[in-house]
Amino acid sequence: MTPETSRRALTFIFITVLIDAIGFGIIIPVMPGLITSLTGKGLAEAAEISGMIMFLYAVTQFICGPVIGGLSDRFGRRPVLLASLTAFGIDYLVMAIAPDLFWLVIARFFAGITGASFSTAYAYIADISPPEKRGPNFGLIGMAFGFGFILGPALGGIVAQWGDRIPFLVAAGLAFANALYGFLILPESLAPENRRRFDWRRANPVGSLVRFRNAHPMVLMLGLTVLVWTIGYQSLFSTWNYFTSLRFGWTPDQVGWSLAFTGLVGALVQGVLSRKLIPRYGARNIVIAGTLSGIAGYLVYASATAGWMLYAGILVAGLNGLVFPSLQSLMSAGVPPNEQGELQGAVTSLQSLAAIVGPPLMTTSFATFSRPSAPVYLPGAPYLLAAGFAVIALLIFFRAMSLRTEATA
């Protein structure tokens, strides 16, 4: 690719992730209303149903991530990415017209199968980026997701005034428009000579991880770092609204503003600071600094005695947004071009596994230490647990770096 073509492609990937994140966020305000209207259940039952749907989505992505990655290594990134975007549009369209809960579940199931556009996007960036620019370019995906998570719920709340199903139609329109845009301007990034035969033995979570253990042990240890780090990070998604409501009496609006602030800080760190810090200090040092920043932030959350302290904690934890793109950069540098899709599919599976394990673990710790009968009343327990996971992730990371040193010795 020429530099101009690479810039256009990178812009498309940014827009793709941004629209995906907006589409994900736009339906958040209306999912409770849609589920209650389809089932006739109350909000408590709707929350349980929503949790089961999210669980199904995560399990499906865990299983299918390596399949999508393997297909992109075989047929190229462009067709897989465009197919995923089109499938997302169909998913949102089916959800918009779903006559009952069954069709809502079916739509989310197929979205989980094809929802690996993030992994294909990461593989695309690895294809078009020199090693020294992969970390900053991976950070752009985090920036796009951060901005999308800010814009999506706000847009969903605005268009929902015309009905609970309208946000799904808007999300479908955005996905189809993005697929058309990509069809017209997105070039293929994976050269034919860098493709490999599709192998079902490698196109599953266990098979791909076993292969990395044998062929790329350092990459496997970095993947385990991602897994443990992400389990701890799930504390924010699964308990933040409950914790802030119980501990400080925050209203939904206050919770929303704090999440928007978190998304803004994350977007700026990953989109701006990553392009300055990672090339200057190296991905290894940034992972260490970002993990320590995250640990400090978790400790602030757990010990906060006033609501404003949580905003201070968000700033203290800001550099943790550089951990994942830096790990991605190190992993991507450890595998050849024809295995980038397999790598990203495996990473998607690990993140999905974290999304399966993390939320019940964190919500259980919150419930256990928030009851009046708790042996120790500590609503911030999930964040202490998250800090512990971050420490373990850092230890695994040090082991991965020692393997890299041994391999180059």
What is the rounded CA–CA span in Å between residue 333 and residue 52?
Answer: 37
Domain span at residue 75 reads 1-186
Q: Is residue 242 part of a domain?
A: yes
Phi, psi of 40 (to 5 degrees): 75, 10
Q: Is residue 195 part of a domain?
A: no
Percent of the chain whose pLDDT exceeds 70: 93
> How distant, in Å, are the alpha carbons of 87, 186, 203, 220, 287 from that of 340?
22, 19, 13, 14, 21
Other residues' Cβ atoms within 10 Å of the Cβ of residue 284:
17
pLDDT average, residue stretch 87-101 = 88
Q: Specify the higher pLDDT residue, 389 or 166.
A: 389
Q: Is residue 83 part of a domain?
A: yes
Residue 282 has pLDDT above 80, yes or no: yes
Q: Is residue 405 part of a domain?
A: yes
Instruction: Give yes or no: residues 364 and 258 share one domain.
Output: yes
Q: Is residue 331 part of a domain?
A: yes
Of 134, 237, 261, 288, the residue nearest 269 (C-alpha): 261
pLDDT average, residue stretch 356-372 = 84
Q: Is residue 194 part of a domain?
A: no
Instruction: Give yes or no: residues 205 and 147 share one domain.
Output: no
Of 312, 246, 325, the residue nearest 278 (C-alpha): 325
Q: Specify the higher pLDDT residue, 154 or 340.
A: 340
Helix (H) or strand (E) holding 227: helix 217-248
> How distant, in Å, are the alpha carbons of 257, 269, 285, 359, 365 from that of 262?
9, 11, 23, 19, 23
Residue 134 contacts residue 329 (beta carbons within 8 Å):
yes
What is the rounded CA–CA span in Å between residue 155 and residue 206?
Answer: 39
Instruction: Give yes or no: residues 150 and 251 share one domain.
Output: no
Q: What is the pLDDT of residue 10?
A: 84
Instruction: Give yes or no: residues 178 and 204 share one domain.
Output: no
Residue 409 has pLDDT above 70, yes or no: no
Q: What is the pLDDT of residue 161?
A: 79
Q: Specify the higher pLDDT residue, 311 or 260.
A: 311
Instruction: Give yes or no: residues 218 and 141 share one domain.
Output: no
pLDDT, tens digit (0-9, with 9 covering 90-100), for 126-148: 888 887 787 778 777 778 877 88
- pLDDT, mean over the chain: 83
Give the end of a domain, one of 186, 213, 238.
186
Q: What is the pLDDT of residue 224?
A: 94
Instruction: Give yes or no: residues 171 and 212 share one domain.
Output: no
Q: Is residue 174 part of a domain?
A: yes
Dihedral angle, C-alpha 337, 225, 274, 141, nearest 10 °: 60
Full DSSP string of 123-159? HHHHHHS-HHHHHHHHHHHHHHHHHHHHHHHHHHHHH
Give the end of a domain, one of 163, 186, 209.
186
Q: Report residue 329 as tokens.
A: 């950069």
Instruction: Give yes or no: residues 264 and 336 share one domain.
Output: yes
What is the tally of structural domains in the chain?
2
Which CATH number do you get for residue 367?
1.20.1250.20
- Predicted model pTM: 0.76
Q: What is the pLDDT of residue 252?
A: 66
pLDDT average, residue stretch 360-371 = 85
Q: What is the pLDDT of residue 47?
A: 59
Instruction: Give yes or no: residues 343 and 280 share one domain.
Output: yes
Q: What is the pLDDT of residue 117?
A: 64
Q: Report residue 328 as tokens.
A: 């991605």
Give the end of a domain, one of 142, 161, 186.
186
Residue 64 has pLDDT above 70, yes or no: yes
Instruction: Give yes or no: residues 248 and 142 share one domain.
Output: no
CB environment 3-37: b (16+ within 10 A), e (fewer):
eeebeebbebbbbbbbbbbbbbbbbbbbbbebbbe
Confidence category of residue 407, pLDDT binned at 50, 70, 90 = low
Q: What is the pLDDT of residue 122?
A: 79
Of 198, 161, 1, the residue nearest 80 (C-alpha): 198
Instruction: Give yes or no: residues 85 and 22 share one domain.
Output: yes
Q: Is residue 315 part of a domain?
A: yes
Instruction: Give yes or no: residues 164 and 219 share one domain.
Output: no
pLDDT, tens digit (0-9, with 9 covering 90-100), for 26-62: 776 677 677 788 888 775 566 567 767 777 887 888 7
Q: What is the pLDDT of residue 260?
A: 78
pLDDT, tens digit (0-9, with 9 covering 90-100), for 6-31: 778 888 888 888 877 787 777 766 77
